[in-house]
Every structure is written in structure tokens, then in C-alpha cells.
Structure 1
Amino acid sequence: MSTPSSAATLLAPVSGRRRTTDLIMRGLLGLGTVIALIPLVLVIYYLFSRGLKGIGSGFFTTDPTGNFLGDPGGVKSAIIGTLEIVGLASVIAIPLGIGVALYLVEFGKKTVFAQIVRYLVDVMTGVPSIVFGLFVYITLVTTKFGGASFTGYKGSFALALLMLPVVTRSAEVVLGLVPEALREAALALGVPRWKVTLKIVLPTALPGLITGSLLAVARGMGETAPLLFTAATVNGTTYNLGQRMNSLPAQIYADISQPNNDIVNRAWAAALTLVVLILVITLIARVAARRSRVS
């Protein structure tokens, strides 16, 4: 039972020094936030100011013409190629990465094999993207096993290798945040371990899993080097992942160094399109996740 003196201490007003310190720290945190946002705002402003100049009537509906004089065309083939290549890479990397994370958190725990897998994932996280492109180039593009040609699905494999460690590490962190009491309560009722993971752990961690997957997708959509070594570039639109495919990063890389101002403006417009495309995909995924939780 608290004494009158202790109760009076708890109700004592905050000293002026503590109020001043709190005010100063809040101001420093706010100032740091503003400083961190300044480069982001400037990049977005510059991207919009340059990118909007290159968006014309046929920008989204025509393919690049390959002409250095006259109308350079649009980026239809690049948009479709990016969606197809990254879509296949996501189908490969996201389920596999979440599966690896489930093993590390739910089943492997502190086994030696789990520690080795975790170490290899950490190593893959720091590998430059061009290394994944070179690996797929050597194993699939230059050999008879892979048809000795540039194709869209080989670019998907390269991006999948790039996205896999990002998905795995983020999913491992999110799954580790699921309260252990939920697992223990379900197991105490006699529910099998696999059903606890499927019905309780995964739905609880779903928002975090989606966030981590979207980070991996955003990184994959912005990579250029792996696609230059695997999918190459092509002006015309193709829906066949077994052929050469164009992509927005490759189109930007090819256009930005050209002497024609119209082509350079197309590169900036393609960069703006890529950023907006990632934003739209993120919003759609979050809305779908929210509706699934409500239902």
C-alpha cells in the first residue's frame, strides 16, 4: 500500500528542466525527420518535373521506334516486359523465401543446418545485383542447357535470386514477432504443428509478410544489370518469356546517354512510370491484404 508521501511524489509536477529537455529532444527529432525528408522530396520533385515532359499521347501505347531522329516512340514494350519478368520472379522468390523463413522460425529453430541457411541468406543479401546477372548469364545464356540465348524468363531467374534473401530475412523477422502464446495455445488444444503454422502464424504475420515481399518486388523492378545480361532489350512488344524482352530499367539505361533530347526525356518519363508502377502495386497489395483480414 502506497504511503501519503509516495503518492505525493507521483503527483508532483514535472520540473522545468525535464520539460525543457523533452522540448529540445522533440525539436531535434523533428529536425532530423525534416532533414531526412528533404532529399526524398527533392528527388520526387525533380523526377516529376523531368518525367512529365517526356509523356506524350502515345507514350504508354507505342513501342520504341529505335530512331535517333524524329519520334522515339513510347515504352509499351518496357512496361509489359517489366510486369512479366518481375511477376515470374515474384512467383518464384516470394513463396520460396517465406517457406525458408517458416523453416528457420517454426521448425529449424537453432539447428546447425538452420544456422548455415541463415548465414547463406545473409551473404546473398550483400551480393551485388550484377553478380546474379553474371551467374545466370554463365549458367543459362552461354550454355546449350539454357538455349544459348537471351530470354525473359532468365531475367526472372536473376531477379528471383536477388529478391529471395530480402523476402527470407524480412519474413523471418515478422514471423518471429508472432506471440509464442498463440502457438502454445493451439498446440495445447491438439492442433498439429503444420496447421498452427498455416492457420494461425501466417494470418497473424500477413501484413508484415506483404510489406517484406513488396520491398523485394520494388528492388527487383529497379534493377538493371541482371536484365542486361539475361533478357537484353528489344523494341517490339512480346508476351513470350522465352524471347528477348524489354524492361523499364533497361530502357532507361539505354536512353539516358543518348544525344537526342527526346530520347533523354523518354528515359526520365520511364523512370517516373517505374516509380508510379511500384506505388500502384504497393497500394493494391495493401488494400487486398486489409480486405482479407476484415473478411
Structure 2
Amino acid sequence: MFNSDSIVSLDNKVYKKRQRTNRLMLTLSSAALVFGLFWLFWIILTLIIKGGGALSFTLLTEATPPPGQDGGLMNAIVGSVMMAAVATLIGTPIGILAGTFLAEYGRRGWLAPATRFLNDVLLSAPSIVIGLFIYAIYVAQVGHYSGWAGSFALAILVIPVVVRSTDNMLSLVPNSLREAAAALGCPQWRIITMICYRASISGIITGVLLAVARISGETAPLLFTALNNQFMSWNMGAPLANLPVVIFQYAASPFEDWNRLAWAGAVLITLLVLGINIAARSLFRK
């Protein structure tokens, strides 16, 4: 006869074995958490110590200086904002429409699974490969670096993130909502725009914000596309300054004033990415 008391007894060998396994896994998980947080806090603390002192109002109002002179990162900040904005405007509609097709129209057949697989490949592709791709098909053809080329490279990085988030969020919308609207004679395009998008808008926006956070610190694709510009420029058709490349070049330079600006730029990007991630998580939680 089944005896439930023997199962939960503290003297039960199976219970003791599971308890030891649980304690071991809890210890390993806690150690991994502490290990990861240790390096994270070390990186943030190093950035604050080395770059916090260089943060000032002139950092936002003056262009990058020649060696030995005072200056800021205004041209790099403006260039980064311009390229990130254009990349987001290009990549977001494409990503949302592609994710909508996968979730709403591609439930049957081979095209949607194949597209998801290719999107995952693009999502994990090294960003330097994207930069080389844009260099080959655009920069090499026009014969010069430009902000447009940098925006195109960043837009390719935005698309797979938005596709994945849109696909996942729309897939979470209950089919009963779609069926109820269809029973009332609502066409599918209106079901998607008036019901599915409204139900998943916070998750879609979260994906867009995470994509912006990703491209904010990308350096490799910009080295082959936008390169850099020491002067203040609003011309997207010419080489354009940007924070990641400026940090890369100034950090490797032998000049201490440039090194300080590189640390300050690293702090700015870190705070920006941290703020975007916090905003995205807060929005998704709602």
C-alpha cells in the first residue's frame, strides 16, 4: 500500500539525495551569479574612476581636439545619434513587417521556418562581417566613407533584433482574440493592426529599444563605413564622427588627453546603454 509519509520522511534516501543535489546546484548557481556580478561591477567601477573625472559640460559642447588641446566629443555624439536614428528608422519598419509575416501569415509552409533560421544566423553574425558587406556593396562603389554607409550597416544589425521580438510578441497574442474579431467580419489586416499590435506594442517597443542599445556601441562596422571625422559635420554623405570609433582611436593613442576623452566616451556609452535597457525592461514589465 502506498505510504506518503515514507516519501517525505527526512530519513528517506531519495529525499536526502535530492536535497544534496539541490544544495549543490544552488551553491553553483550562486557562485556563478557572484562571479558574473563581480566582473560587471569591476568594469563599471573602472569606467567611473577613469572616465568620471573627464565628464564635463565641454564634453558635450566642443568637438574632438588635436593632441595637447582641450576639447570634447560633441561631433562624435552628434554623429552617433544621427546614424543610430537613421538606422532605427530604416531597420524598425522592415523588422516589424518581417516579424508580422512570420507570426501572422507564415504559420504554414517552409518559408517562415527558413526565415527564422536565417534571422537567427544574422542575429548572431559578427558585426565586422556586416561592415565588410556594406563596404563591398556601397563604400567601394561610391569611393568614399559616409554616414549613410554607417547607417546601413547599423540598420542590418537592428533588423534581426526587431524581427525576433515582433515575432515572439505577436505569437503570445491569444488566438481567441483573432477568432473573435474574424467572427465579426474583421479582415486580417485590421485584426493585426487593431488587435495584435495593440496587445503586443510594449514588447515590440522593447525590442526596438534593445536594438538601439546594441548598435550604440558597435565599432567594427563603422570602421569600414563611416570611419571618423575630426570636425563637426552634419553631412551624412561624408565621413562622420561617432563615439565608438573615437573611443577606439583615442584609447590606442599615446596622448593622455585623448585617453581621458576615450574613457569619458566609454562612460557615456555605458550610461546610455544602461538607461535604454532599464527603460526597455520597465516598459516590458508593464
Deviates more, 1:110-119 or 1:155-164: 110-119
Gaps of 5+ in 2: none
Aligned to 1:3: none
Rounded Cα–Cα distance in structure 2 between residues aligned with 1:213 and 1:197: 19
- 1:197–1:21 distance in 2 versus 1, CA, 3 Å: farther
Q: How many Å apart are 1:239 and its aligned residue? A: 2.1
Matches within 5 A, 1:228-239: 228-239=223-234
Residue 224 of structure 1 pairs with residue 219 of structure 2: yes
Q: What residue ranges of structure 1 are gaps of 5+ in the alignment? A: 1-5
Shift of residue 128 of structure 1?
A: 1.6
Change in CA separation of 1:113 and 1:28 when aligned onto 2, cut-off 3 Å: closer
Residues 210 and 286 in structure 1, CA contact (< 8 A), matched pair in contact too: no
AA matched with 2:202: P
Q: What is the rounded CA distance, in whole Å, between the counterparts of 1:102 and 1:33 in structure 2?
A: 36
Deviations 1:188-226 (A, max 9, x none): 222211111111111211222122222211111111111
The amino acid across from 1:191 in the alignment is C
Residue aligned with 1:156, SS: helix
1:87 aligned to 2:85?
Answer: yes
Instruction: Give the whole-Å Cα distance in 2 for the aligned partners of 1:248 and 1:238.
Output: 14
- In structure 1, distance between residues paired with 2:38 and 2:174: 38
Cα distance in 1, alignment partners of residues 149 and 276 from structure 2: 23
Alpha-carbon offset, residue 120 of structure 1: 2.3
Between the aligned partners of 1:245 and 1:204, the Cα distance in structure 2 is 39
Which residue identity lines up with residue 168 of structure 1 in the other structure?
V
The one of 131, 134, 156 aligned to 2:151: 156
Over the residues paired in the alignment, what is the CA RMSD in angstroms? Answer: 2.7
Aligned to 2:124: 126
> CA–CA distance in 1 between the matches of 2:257 and 2:54?
7
* Corresponding residue SS for 2:61: coil
Aligned to 2:68: 69
Matches of 2:124 and 2:261, distance apart in 1: 32
Q: Distance in 2 between matches of 1:284 and 1:195?
A: 29
Higher mean alpha-carbon deviation, 21-30 vs 131-140, is at 21-30
* Residue of structure 2 aligned with 1:201, choices 192, 196, 200: 196
Is 1:251 the counterpart of 2:253? The answer is no
TM-superposition CA deviations, 1:225-255 (whole Å, max 9, x none)? 1111111101222223222211110110110
The structural deviation recorded for 1:26 is 5.3
**CA spacing shift, 1:35–1:112, aligned 2, 3 Å:** same
Q: Deviations over 1:64-97 (max 9, x none)?
A: 12x22233x1100111111110110001111111
TM-score, normalised with respect to structure 2: 0.86
Does the CA-based 8 Å contact 1:54-1:262 persist in structure 2? no
Measured in 2, the distance between the counterparts of 1:57 and 1:266 equals 13
> Would the alpha carbon gap of residues 278 and 193 (structure 1) be closer, same or farther in structure 2, given more than 3 Å must change?
same
Q: Secondary structure at the match of 1:150?
A: coil
Native 8 Å contact 2:210 2:280 kept in 1: no
Partner of 1:261: 256
Instruction: Identify the match of residue 190 of structure 1 among 167, 172, 185.
Output: 185
8 Å Cα contact 2:213-2:276 kept in structure 1? no
Q: Greater shift after overlay, 197-206 or 172-181?
A: 172-181
Map 1:1-295 → 2, pairs under 5 A: 16=10, 24=23, 29-65=29-65, 67-71=66-70, 73-143=71-141, 147-282=142-277
Q: TM-score scaled by structure 1? A: 0.84
TM-superposed deviation, 1:23: 7.8
Structure 1 CA distance, aligned partners of 2:7 and 2:116? 50
Q: Are the structure 2 counterparts of residues 163 and 68 from structure 1 closer, same or farther at C-alpha, using a change threshold of 3 Å?
A: same
- After superposition, the C-alpha distances for 1:19-66 in whole angstroms (9 at most, x for unaligned) are 96698365654444333322211111111111113224411111012x
Q: Deviation at 1:152?
A: 0.7
Once structures 1 and 2 are overlaid, which stretch shifts more, 93-102 or 130-139? 130-139
SS in 2 for 1:266: helix
Partner Cα separation in structure 1 for residue 267 and residue 67 of structure 2: 22
Aligned length: 279
Q: What's the offset of the Cα at 1:14?
A: 6.3
Kept in 2, the 8 Å contact 1:62–1:74? The answer is yes
On the 8 A contact 2:95/2:159 being kept in 1, the answer is yes
CA distance in 2 between counterparts of 1:278 and 1:95 reads: 22
Seen in structure 2, the aligned counterparts of structure 1 residues 23 and 286 have a Cα distance that, compared at 3 Å, is closer
